[in-house]
Chains A and B, each alone.
Chain A
Amino acid sequence: QKEVEQNSGPLSVPEGAIASLNCTYSDRGSQSFFWYRQYSGKSPELIMFIYSNGDKEDGRFTAQLNKASQYVSLLIRDSQPSDSATYLCAVTPWGAQKLVFGQGTRLTINP
């Protein structure tokens, strides 16, 4: 079992709709959770981080964390074509400083 798992997609969503990206992790002691966006040929850029159970909202983005289910998600409301990218879920394992990444979900927003 991979430490961090994501559906590789591609996930296709019409413009203006909600895109839902999911991630599960295996280390129950994981402490911090990050969503990065990566455009083709570019480096990852941070979208959101979440540390506590529940929802965290930032503009059109909402991160959701459920530690009991070892599940973290990212919702993108009012999706725009510029949101088309690969979304990487990253987790900090207990006692570590490194990030462990999922394989990424490729998201396409169709105009």
Chain B
Amino acid sequence: GAGVSQSPSNKVTEKGKDVELRCDPISGHTALYWYRQSLGQGLEFLIYFQGNSAPDKSGLPSDRFSAERTGGSVSTLTIQRTQQEDSAVYLCASSRDRGGQETQYFGPGTRLLVL
């Protein structure tokens, strides 16, 4: 079956612009996660959705970052007024259900470059 998909695969933007990153989880997966991976910081958790609710937003680095999920499926991560330090690969993952033992499957990522 289809895996997690993300779009765009690459995004180049200018400092100060807003960007939207999209994630389509595996069909039927109720849990969705956003992570980002940068050279200096490794792979960091941003936010977790169960259905359309986000019970854990603890990883969002600032109020410039927000995310939503609609219909228990597609999620959008929005970064407002982008900064150069936002440059990273943004990875989305989904799992069948919540629970620490559920395997998270990752999408191919969106590579964001802020000039």
Taking Cβ atoms with an 8 Å cutoff, the residues of A that contact B are: 31-32, 34, 36, 42-46, 49, 51, 88, 92, 96-104
Contact = CB atoms under 8 A, between A and B. Distances in A.
Contacts of B102: 97
Contacts of A34: 103-104
A97 B48 CA distance: 8
Given A98-B33, A98-B56, A31 B106 contact: no
Contacts of A31: 100-101
A100 B45 contact: yes
Given A46-B105, A98-B48, A103 B42 contact: yes
Contacts of B100: 31-32, 92, 96-97
Contacts of A92: 100-101
Interface of B: 31, 33, 35, 42-45, 48, 50, 55-56, 58-59, 91, 93, 98-109
Given A96-B56, A98-B45, A99-B45, A43 B107 contact: yes
Nearest to A43: B106
Interface residues of chain B: helix, strand, loop or mixed (majority) = strand
Contacts of B43: 44, 88, 101, 104
A5 B43 CA distance: 13
Contacts of A100: 45
B108 A43 contact: yes
Contact of B56 (A45, A97, A104): A97
A44 B91 CA distance: 9
Contact of A51 (B50, B55, B101): B101
| Most chain B CB atoms below 10 A, which of A42, A92, A99 | A99
B101 A104 contact: no
A85 B22 CA distance: 27
Nearest to B58: A98
Given A46-B103, A51-B101, A104 B48 contact: no
B42 A101 contact: yes
